[in-house]
Amino acid sequence: MNTNNNVYTVIYTTVIVVVVAALLAFVSQSLKGKQDANEKADTISQMLTAAGYATKAELGKLGNAAVLDKYAEEIDKAFVINLEGQQIREIPIGRNEIEVYSPKALKRQNYNIKGGPNKTGEAELPVFLFKNGRTVVPIYGAGLWGPIWGYISFNPDLATIGGAYFDHESETAGLGAKIKDDPSFQAEFVGEVADFRNANVFDIVKGGAPKDAEGKSVVDNKIDAITGATMTSNGLDAAIDTWLAAYANYFLGAVPADAKHKCECAACPCGDACPCDCHCPEKTEPGCNCPGCECAACDGNIHNAEEE
């Protein structure tokens, strides 16, 4: 065969491409099981971190099997709801049948929440209830350079944030990547209150969230944005609003009676169903036996009392 003609070159090139493609496909398929196991363990680690069981670094040292063991030990129940807040199916939680929502699965549900041409069906939103009393839900959206996602946990009142963990695909190191790498940013969420009665459920505020006279963060539904990472902060803010608003019907309808706060202040519209966990600076309203409430869920009225 003449190795210098065009036919030989085309055949040779085609054979090489086919062989290399086959090898890559074989390697990819061979590693798929391990990749899926790593992704599942990583997702579970993020949920356990948000739920307050350990830090992501601590869980990362355990290994995949131990992380799944921990999840199976601490999860109480998990299920999927629709946008009306109704449970539509259970999520398996047994040690050998654990089901999680990968970033790809969250991306599909993000389309379903928003609607539009990319919608593939009705939104199916996962809810994870842990034995420490915290409820964990995911969020998903777009950062500056790619997708961002994460998990937020709520205390039994289903309004106060107990913890959060966020991840990303390709945000800028030292700036947008701080949503994952900076524990102090994630810690800002702890103790803040989600306003499920408002379409703007939570705010990441450029220029600083409200502070009290001592410079401490006020308990509300706002935290500080990351300096130098405006687009990532805006993307995370939008993702949190979109997803928590989608969960609003569930959270507003699922608060246990013994976790609600009883309000005796005439200025507070929430009455016995007030979800706020905050305190007013002074007693100024008739019937107010706590200091008044600055929680956004009280629509700007500043008086709320906890159940005695």
Domain boundaries along the sequence of the chain? 38-253, 260-308
Model confidence band, residue 83 (pLDDT cutoffs 50, 70, 90): very high
Report the 10 Å Cβ neighbour count for 87: 13
Alpha carbon 291 to its chain centroid, in Å, reads: 31
Q: What is the pLDDT of residues 176-225, one digit of tens each?
A: 999 999 999 999 999 999 999 888 899 998 866 566 556 666 667 889 99
**CA–CA separation, 38 and 249 (whole Å):** 33
Higher pLDDT, 170 or 215: 170
CA angle, 291 then 278 then 273, to 5° = 95
Q: How far is CA 199 from the centre of its chain?
A: 17
Average confidence score pLDDT of the chain: 82
Residue whose entry in the numeric block shows the structure tokens 């007693």:
283
The pLDDT-based confidence of 268 (bands split at 50, 70, 90) is low
Residues present in the chain in total: 308
Alpha helices in the chain (DSSP H): 6-50, 56-60, 64-74, 103-114, 178-181, 183-187, 230-246, 248-253
Q: Using alpha carbons, select from 235, 226, 241, 236 the residue that is nearest to residue 178.
A: 226
| Structure token digits, residue 296 | 């956004």
